[in-house]
């Protein structure tokens, strides 16, 4: 019985840890470019281009993207094989997305959506966001 309880405790602690994004995700980011889009998006490239310069603030208990606020977001972290995953999941040839072969995907869930469904960690200084069918590059800002 004690062994079963110990195993259950370890599984719960691992699941909780896996749900938290790396602390390096937290901070102030700025949209620097529109990288690519899905064919099925209903928004224009002009709409997406207007987001260049928009601030994104990610904290453990909130996300602010422009004027949209997400309080108490839920994060789910997964490791993906970049090329095959993007071809299958997005039906997209990801040549324009500068992501590593093994990319960390962070699913963002908010009660009041901010438009960002997924964050892909490019490196410590850049992220790729999936917003309304577009992939946006975000660069870390110094406070």
- Each domain of the chain, given as residue ranges in start order, spans 2-140
DSSP state of 51: T
pTM above threshold 0.85: no
Residue 32: predicted pLDDT: 98
Residue 143: predicted pLDDT: 64
Residue 9: predicted pLDDT: 40
CA atoms of 135 and 37, how far apart (whole Å): 6
Residue-wise over 86-105: b if at least 16 C-beta within 10 A, else e? beeebebebeebebeeebbb
The tens digit of pLDDT for each residue in 3-61 reads 433 334 444 433 334 455 678 899 999 999 999 998 877 788 898 999 999 999 999 89
CA nearest neighbour of 35 among 125, 113, 130, 141:
130
Residue 107: predicted pLDDT: 95
The tens digit of pLDDT for each residue in 62-116 reads 999 999 999 999 999 999 999 999 999 999 899 999 999 999 999 999 988 788 9
């Amino acid at each position: 019985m004690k062994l079963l309880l110990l195993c259950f405790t370890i599984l719960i602690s691992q699941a909780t840890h896996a749900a938290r994004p790396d602390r390096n995700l937290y901070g102030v980011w700025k949209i620097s470019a529109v990288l690519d889009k899905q064919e099925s998006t209903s928004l224009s490239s002009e709409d997406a281009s207007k987001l260049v310069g928009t601030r994104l603030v990610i904290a453990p208990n909130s996300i602010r993207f422009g004027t949209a606020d997400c309080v108490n977001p839920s994060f789910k972290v997964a490791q993906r094989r970049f090329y095959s995953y993007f071809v299958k999941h997005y039906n997209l040839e990801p040549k324009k997305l500068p992501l590593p072969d093994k990319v960390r995907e962070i699913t963002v869930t908010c009660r009041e959506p901010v438009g960002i469904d997924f964050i892909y960690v490019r490196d410590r200084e850049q992220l790729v966001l999936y917003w309304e069918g577009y992939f946006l590059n975000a660069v870390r800002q110094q406070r």
